Amino acid sequence: MEASPTRFVTATIRRVIYHAQDSGFAVAEVVTSEGATFTAAGLLGDPTPESTYKLEGGFEDHPRFGPRFKVASAIPVTPDSLDGMRRFLASGRFEGVGETTAARIVDELGLATFDALAGDGDIRIKGLAGKKLAALRAAVRAARVEIETHAFLAGIGLGPALSAAVIRAYGPMTATVTKENPWKLAEDIRGIGFLTADRLGRQLGFAPNHPLRLRAGLLHALLEATEQGHTCLPNGLLVERAAELLTVDHDIVSEALRAAEGDDAVVVERAYADTARAYHPDLHAFEVEAAHRVSRLLFRPALLDEDDLPAEVPEHLSDEQRRAVALLLKSPVALLTGGPGVGKTTVIDAVVRCITALGKSVQLAAPTGRAARRMEEATGREAATIHRLLGIQPSDSFDDRPPPDPILADCLVVDEASMLDLPLFVQILRGLVGKTSLILVGDPDQLPSVGPGNVLSDLVTSRIVPCASLTRIFRQERGGLLVRNAHAVREGSMPDDPEPGEVTDYYFMERADATEGAALIRELVSKRLPAKFGFDPSEDIQVLTPMHKGACGTESLNTLLQESLREGARTAKRNDRTFREGDRVIATRNDYERNLANGETGRVVGVIDATGEVTGQFGTGVHRFKPNEWDDLQLSYTLTVHKSQGSEYPAVVLPLFNEHWPMLRRAVLYTAMTRARKLLVVVGQRSALARAVDDARKAERFSLLSERLSGISRSEGP
């Protein structure tokens, strides 16, 4: 499928066969001014019938679609022939101009048609005058500006799809906005990041130390830090990262940081830490608000102000569990922490029984749908996702969040609190009206939230919020190893292997390298585990891996498992992506229209090969995804450990090889182990397992929530 030598050709679109708006990829039937007709395919931006392009590319013989012109670049131009001008004017984009009127205009003005209509000179056209002529001239001027803007953006290196997105955002001001501040495009246009905007800035001649570039680089470095989970960065570290990004001296960036602080583009906090910390303004406001709201919660009345626990507390509770129940009932805000098998659910069930016996109401919630369903199964009581409970949608931005619905229960219990990021935690606190108390349940040794903040750990380390920590292990079904090994790993000890021939709930299967491991994982999921334990490979078994890349990364393993488990199913393909009916999938971004959260899992329930549409079911909702929306979905036979937070699976298969070395950390291993409910099979190298156990480093997160809480005196009052 080799393309012919590169050539340039001016062609007009006769018919758009296919167009993916998000990517700008299109297939169209086009005709040249000489009358040659062919199919063109490539990035055309927003193609419309009768629009003309200067195309760069070459002809190819596509194995599926036959001969076509493969477009390397496309720049919109005005038609350069009389026939092309007539067709363009009659294309429907100019109100009130049909074929007859278009022919009359071109007959009158000739090859100067567009120059005359766009100019200021007096023109006369039979049957077209007054407001109609004025409206046509204004529309032609707008069309010419759009075409010239496309050419301008193409000239500075922006592709058709992104050019179309920029023009949709800024309209006739596109060139002005871009020339004045190309880095603004990174703030406003999805798909344009700092590096693209910075390249445009170089094309436009901005100096490396231009103030706009320095500020944009600083803000980008700060945004990257929030994506890594930080709510702030020490000034020196921020300057270092931005200077490396911008390739300028640290002193120049330090001055830019002072200027950004002066303009309130960045908030610098000089209290609570030895070094000044830089914040995105919204995150600083959230952190301050969270600290004050938590401190005010401490002054609310507790659910129970008596010394004796209600009779509804089960007698079989251990002394540690009874003390935990008492603390949670007698504290208006409290934490319940502990690893797997220590009875957190038992304590929560006892607390809920007591609250109900006191004639008060309780609401259960969790960050994800899976976690909420697991909470319902464990307690026998209804639980909701936090977003549904508060009436809010998942958000990728920090600001413009509507106020949450009030939580009307007397007590809110939130499970999997290690997943709470700072913005979501603030929304919970805002929803606590009246005298509602708050109980957060979680395991601070698991991986922290995907979003910015380290809420649960910060609350624990502040020592301001009462905390009941459960340590005694109760759950040891069938005398298994899983729970015991998870606690051993948390304490820094290697997990025990089962005795030869022992049937248990933890196995380590050693392989020499990741390629051998991938082959074994395929066999385990599709054959061996279903045969030995009765697990449904499509429902019960989840492969978790530390990373996306590599022979045992999500990308490779998802393809292997799709081939094994969905062979023969109806299939839709686009470029290198394939979906099959029955595929397990995960949403990869927050989707407000579909009310889907990043990380929500579902299943493909239908594919249409002809159009490439995929129908996915997420919970009770069924949604259609066009090919240009495929990037919003990924296969989920294999997930990263990070993506598995808040979920539990009957069986987990965990590859652990030296190729995963950047993520071979104790918290990653421990989190993966605690996702398995009945069985965990680790496939890997013993050296990789040992490295993960030994590496006690937690991903450092810069935050001052704990220090703020500790610095707020209880004597200040609510």
**Over the stretch 275-327, which tens digit does the pLDDT of each residue have?**
999 999 999 999 999 999 999 999 998 988 777 777 777 788 899 999 999 99
**Over the stretch 89-104, which tens digit does the pLDDT of each residue have?**
887 778 888 888 888 8
Identify which of 23, 13, 136 has the alpha carbon closest to the alpha carbon of residue 77. 13
Instruction: Enter the DSSP assignment of 688.
Output: H
Contacts with 177 (C-beta within 8 Å, 6 or more apart), sequence order: 170, 184, 185
Q: Which residue type does 213 have? A: R
Q: What is the mean pLDDT of residues 56-68?
A: 83
Q: How confident is the model at residue 717 (pLDDT cuts 50, 70, 90)?
A: very low
Helix, coil or strand: residue 170: helix
Q: How confident is the model at residue 630 (pLDDT cuts 50, 70, 90)?
A: confident
Q: Which residue type does 538 have? A: S
pLDDT score for 714: 43
- Return d(Cα 184, Cα 65) in angstroms, integer: 40
**Over the stretch 221-266, which tens digit does the pLDDT of each residue have?**
999 999 999 999 999 999 999 999 999 999 999 999 999 999 999 9
**What angle, rounded to 10 degrees, do the helices at 130-155 and 160-170 form?**
130
For 107-151, give the secondary structure using H, E and C: HHHHHHHHHHHHCCCCCCECCECHHHHHHHHHHHHHHHHHHHHHH
Q: What's the Cα-to-Cα distance from 385 to each of 273, 327, 415, rounded to whole Å?
A: 35, 25, 10
Q: What is the mean pLDDT of residues 19-43?
A: 83
Q: How confident is the model at residue 679 (pLDDT cuts 50, 70, 90)?
A: very high
Helix, coil or strand: residue 19: strand
654-657-658 Cα angle (round to 5): 150
pLDDT score for 124: 83
pLDDT score for 715: 40
Res. 206: pLDDT tops 60:
yes
Res. 477: pLDDT tops 50:
no
Res. 567: pLDDT tops 70:
yes
Helix, coil or strand: residue 324: helix
Torsions phi, psi for 265 (to 5 deg): -75, -25
Helix, coil or strand: residue 5: coil
- Return d(Cα 428, Cα 62) in angstroms, integer: 54
Q: What percentage of the chain carries pLDDT values higher than 90? A: 49
Res. 713: pLDDT tops 50:
no
Q: What's the Cα-to-Cα distance from 29 to each of 32, 39, 68, 198, 339, rounded to whole Å?
A: 11, 5, 9, 36, 62
Residue-wise DSSP of 198-218: HHHHHHTT--TT-HHHHHHHH
pLDDT score for 475: 60
Res. 626: pLDDT tops 90:
no
Res. 609: pLDDT tops 80:
no
**Over the stretch 152-194, which tens digit does the pLDDT of each residue have?**
888 888 877 788 888 888 988 989 999 999 999 998 887 888 9
- pLDDT winner (highest mean) among 132-141, 147-156, 483-492: 483-492
Q: What percentage of the chain carries pLDDT values higher than 70? A: 95
Torsions phi, psi for 562 (to 5 deg): -60, -45
Torsion angle of alpha carbons 273, 277, 282, 284, nearest 10°? 10
pLDDT score for 361: 94
**What angle, rounded to 10 degrees, do the helices at 666-673 and 686-694 form?**
110
pLDDT score for 610: 62
**Over the stretch 506-560, which tens digit does the pLDDT of each residue have?**
999 999 999 999 999 999 999 999 999 999 998 999 999 999 999 999 999 999 9
Strand partners, 402: none
- Return d(Cα 481, Cα 465) in angstroms, integer: 34
Res. 2: pLDDT tops 60:
no
Other C-beta atoms closer than 10 Å to the C-beta of 500 total: 5
> What element of type H or E holds 543?
strand 541-545
Q: How far is CA 565 from the centre of its chain?
A: 27
pLDDT score for 195: 92
Contacts with 542 (C-beta within 8 Å, 6 or more apart), sequence order: 639, 644, 647, 649, 651, 652, 653, 675
For 64-111, give the secondary structure using H, E and C: CCEEEEEEEEEEEECCCCHHHHHHHHCCCCCCCCCHHHHHHHHHHHHH
Exposure class string for 245-281: b at 16+ Cβ within 10 A, else e: bbebeeebbbebbeebeeeeebbbbeebeeebbbbbe
Identify which of 484, 537, 473 has the alpha carbon closest to the alpha carbon of residue 506. 484
Res. 82: pLDDT tops 60:
yes
Beta-strand ranges (E) seen in 343-486 are: 362-366, 383-385, 411-414, 437-442, 467-469
What count of residues does the chain have? Answer: 718
Token output for 536: 């449904």
**Over the stretch 381-410, which tens digit does the pLDDT of each residue have?**
899 989 889 988 776 566 656 788 999 999
- Return d(Cα 12, Cα 79) in angstroms, integer: 8
Token output for 561: 């498992």
**Over the stretch 451-476, which tens digit does the pLDDT of each residue have?**
899 999 999 999 999 999 998 877 65
